[in-house]
């Protein structure tokens, strides 16, 4: 029985694809092992065989950023390939091993596989908490001191005690909370101990580097959240969505206007052009234009307006699909950057809560007046009309008025609840300043 010529040609490709499939576990394990070797090499060459500490003061910030990016890249490769190794072994059985032997594949011994897996686990297990933001013990102690001072303020102790009851803990009286020495003396002694600590300078440098890294990561992530969707919109509109829309939407037979408002705008422009020609014809010293000449100029202007609105309609359709891709890119950034979001949240907490009470009150009043204040309906109306024009939708006045009548009210309610529920506990003095300035 002769094998068809087509089968003879395609058989080598099928065989090589099958060999590639059978070699997937070994290939994944070798790539993960090489990534672990790269991490181990960095540890031995630059950190004396110890763990790569991204907060170390041994090298400069640029060098540590280089080591950190290389470490994260190798860890990502190792973990992804280990997952691929485990997943591919789920589909591996005795029949696959027999088939691999027939195709000339020799699997490594089980002892070698276990040795590589053990080495990979030893290397990457040191960096399981690398994605979490690191806070030094000194910063934790400072945060605890701030919380203790906030709880010991005269305006809030009873309220917080009632909100966080501890039934298993015996309630102490005021006499039990008082020490032998005043708190100011104890705090002074604690501050002197910190200043006399031989590691104080290193802790200060480390804390500064952590703050600097947090600021750089936050600003870079904010820029990514702004730039990536904009670039996705423009690139997809020019390279993907635009050519597809131009191909499927025939410019000769396509509708000029997507909605009635665009048609009314075009007719109004043509009417003004006609009135302008007649006005110039009346006041000009040149010979007046004939009716035929006026009709020719009107026809040229009508074609120009029609072409412009046809491009505007096509551009609105392109904006719809490009915006969908931009939103997808934005959501992907949020999903794939959980560690950056945690750092960004910590950055905003330090910035916002580090402001003075008057600055907090000023920002709150500015925000509320812009979005839910007396003049905010005009701003919301401009935004909604611009969005409808961007997508080629008719500006529904009833929907706009209904949105303005409900959404700012909901925002105002949420904002007042946030002030009452959270800001009143965290910074009661800022709330008092806000109320005085608002009155």
Whether the CB-CB separation of 43 and 103 falls below 8 Å is answered with no
pLDDT digits (tens, 9 = 90+) for 345-357: 888 888 887 888 8
What does the pLDDT look like over 358-377, one tens digit per residue?
888 888 888 888 888 877 88
Select the more confidently predicted residue: 334 or 86.
Answer: 334
Judgement on whether residues 150 and 118 belong to the same structural domain of the protein: no
Same domain for 242 and 321, yes or no, is yes
- Identify the pLDDT of residue 190: 72
Angle at 116 between CA 94 and CA 72, to 5 degrees: 120
pLDDT digits (tens, 9 = 90+) for 399-411: 889 998 899 889 8
pLDDT tens digits, 141-167: 444 443 434 333 433 334 333 444 444
Contact 353, 427 (CB under 8 A): yes
Quick one: average pLDDT of 314-333? Answer: 92
Position 321 scores a pLDDT of: 93
Residue 205 lies in a domain: no
Q: Which residue has the tokens 């008719």?
A: 394
Give yes or no for a contact between 32 and 82, defined as CB atoms under 8 angstroms apart. yes
Determine, yes or no, domain membership for 113: yes
Same structural domain, 115 and 184: no
- Residue 217: inside a domain: no
Percent of the chain surpassing pLDDT 70: 75
Residue 266 has pLDDT above 60, yes or no: yes
Residue 93: which pLDDT band, with cuts at 50, 70 and 90? low
Same domain, 50 and 121: yes
pLDDT band (50, 70, 90) for residue 234: very high
Does any domain span residue 202? no
**Domain end marker among 309, 337, 365:** 337
Q: What are the angstrom distances between the C-alpha of 364 and each of 54, 372, 412?
A: 37, 11, 11
Residues 395 and 413 in one domain: yes
> Total structural domains in the chain?
4
Q: Give the model confidence (pLDDT) of 192-222 as tens digits.
A: 776 666 777 777 777 788 888 888 989 999 9
Classify residue 168 by its DSSP letter: T
pLDDT at 104: 59
The answer to whether residues 119 and 151 belong to one domain is no
User: Is the backbone of residue 48 left (phi > 0), alpha (psi -120 to 50) or beta?
Assistant: left
**122 & 10 share domain:** yes
Res 351: pLDDT: 85
Considering only CA atoms, which of 353, 375, 364, 351 is closest in space to residue 415?
A: 364
Q: Which of 236, 238, 240 is nearest to 228 (CA)?
A: 236
User: Within this chain, do residues 122 and 85 fall inside the same structural domain, yes or no?
Assistant: yes
CA distances from 188 to 181, 214, 249 (A): 12, 30, 77
Percent of the chain with pLDDT over 90: 13
- The CA distance from 43 to 52, in Å, is 6
310 to 131, 132, 210, 250, 269: CA distances (angstroms): 50, 52, 55, 11, 15
Q: Is residue 216 part of a domain?
A: no
DSSP codes, 184-245: HHHHHHHHHHHHH-TTHHHHHHHHHHHHHHHHHHHHHHHHHHHHHHHHHHHHHIIIIIHHHH
The DSSP 8-state label assigned to residue 107 in this structure reads: P
**Hey, what are 156's tokens?**
């809030």
The reply to whether 327 and 248 lie within a common domain is: yes
Residue 299 forms part of a structural domain:
yes
Distance CA(414)–CA(435), nearest Å, equals: 17
133: confidence class by pLDDT, cuts 50, 70, 90: very low
Residue 438 binned pLDDT confidence (cut-offs 50, 70, 90)? confident
pLDDT value of residue 157: 38
The two tokens of residue 251 are 């410019």
pLDDT above 80: residue 418: yes
Q: What is the pLDDT of residues 107-128, one digit of tens each?
A: 667 788 888 888 998 888 888 7
Please answer whether residues 119 and 126 qualify as being in contact, where contact means their C-beta atoms are separated by less than 8 angstroms.
no
Residues 13 and 89 in one domain: yes
d(Cα 230, Cα 326) in Å, to the nearest integer?
7
Range of the domain at 422: 355-438
344 domain-assigned: no
Sign of the CA dihedral 133, 137, 141, 144? positive
Phi, psi of 296 (to 5 degrees): -65, -45
Question: Domain boundary residue among 303, 337, 371?
Answer: 337
Distance in angstroms (rounded) separating the CA atoms of residues 266 and 261: 9
| 193 and 283 both lie in a single domain | no
Which region, left, alpha or beta, applies to residue 134 given φ > 0 means left and ψ of -120 to 50 means alpha? beta
Residue 221 pLDDT = 92
What's the rounded mean pLDDT across residues 248-266?
Answer: 79
Q: Please state, in angstroms and rounded to a whole number, the distance separating the CA atoms of residues 383 and 37.
A: 55
Residues 325 and 236 in one domain: yes
Q: Is the pTM of this model over 0.75?
A: no
The pLDDT of residue 330: 94
147 in any annotated domain:
yes
Domain boundary at 279, 310, 337, which?
337
Query: Between vectors from CA 195 to CA 190 and to CA 199, what angle results, nearest 5°?
Result: 115
CA atoms in the 13 A half-sphere facing the CB of 95? 1
- Give the pLDDT mean for 308-325: 91
The contacts of residue 368 (CB under 8 Å, 6+ apart) are 412, 415
Whether the CA torsion 313, 314, 315, 320 is positive or negative: it is: positive
Cα–Cα distance for residue pair 328/38, rounded to 1 Å: 34
CB 313 within 8 A of CB 392: yes
């Amino acid at each position: 029985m002769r094998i068809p010529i087509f089968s003879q040609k395609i058989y080598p490709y099928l065989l090589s694809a099958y060999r590639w499939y059978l070699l997937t576990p070994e290939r994944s394990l070798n790539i993960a092992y090489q990534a672990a070797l790269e991490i181990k090499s960095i540890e031995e060459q630059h950190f004396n065989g110890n763990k790569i500490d991204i907060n170390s003061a041994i090298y400069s910030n640029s060098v540590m950023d280089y080591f950190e990016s290389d470490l994260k890249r190798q860890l990502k490769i190792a973990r992804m390939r280990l997952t691929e190794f485990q997943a591919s072994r789920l589909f591996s059985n005795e029949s696959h091993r027999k088939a691999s032997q027939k195709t000339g594949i020799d699997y490594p011994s089980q002892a070698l596989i276990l040795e590589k897996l053990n080495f990979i686990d030893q290397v990457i297990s040191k960096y399981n908490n690398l994605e979490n933001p690191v806070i030094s013990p000194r910063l934790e102690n400072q945060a605890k001191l701030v919380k203790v001072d906030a709880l010991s303020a005269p305006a809030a102790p009873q309220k917080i005690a009632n909100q966080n009851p501890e039934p298993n803990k015996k309630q102490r009286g005021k006499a039990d909370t008082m020490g032998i020495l005043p708190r100011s003396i104890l705090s002074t002694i604690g501050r002197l101990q910190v200043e006399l600590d031989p590691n104080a300078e290193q802790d200060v440098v480390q804390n500064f580097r952590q703050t600097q890294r947090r600021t750089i990561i936050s600003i870079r992530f904010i820029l990514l959240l702004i730039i990536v969707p904009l670039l996705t919109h423009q690139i997809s509109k020019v390279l993907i969505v635009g050519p597809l829309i131009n191909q499927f939407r025939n410019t000769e037979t396509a509708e000029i206007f997507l909605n009635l408002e665009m048609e009314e705008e075009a007719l109004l422009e043509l009417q003004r052009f006609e009135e302008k020609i007649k006005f110039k014809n009346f006041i000009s010293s040149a010979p007046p234009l004939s009716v035929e000449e006026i009709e020719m100029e009107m026809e040229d202007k009508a074609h120009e307006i029609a072409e412009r609105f046809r491009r505007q309609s096509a551009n609105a359709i392109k904006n719809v699909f490009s915006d969908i891709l931009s939103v997808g890119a934005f959501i992907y950034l949020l999903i794939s950057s959980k560690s950056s979001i945690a750092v960004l949240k910590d950055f905003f907490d330090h910035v916002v809560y580090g402001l003075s009470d008057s600055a907090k009150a000023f920002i709150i009043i500015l925000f509320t007046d812009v979005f839910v204040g007396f003049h905010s309906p005009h701003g919301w109306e401009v935004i909604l009309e611009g969005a409808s024009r961007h997508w080629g939708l008719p500006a529904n006045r009833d929907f706009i008025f209904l949105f303005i009548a409900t959404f700012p009210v909901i925002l105002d309610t949420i904002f007042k609840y946030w002030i009452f529920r959270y800001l009143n506990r965290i910074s009661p003095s800022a709330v008092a300043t806000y109320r005085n300035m608002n009155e």
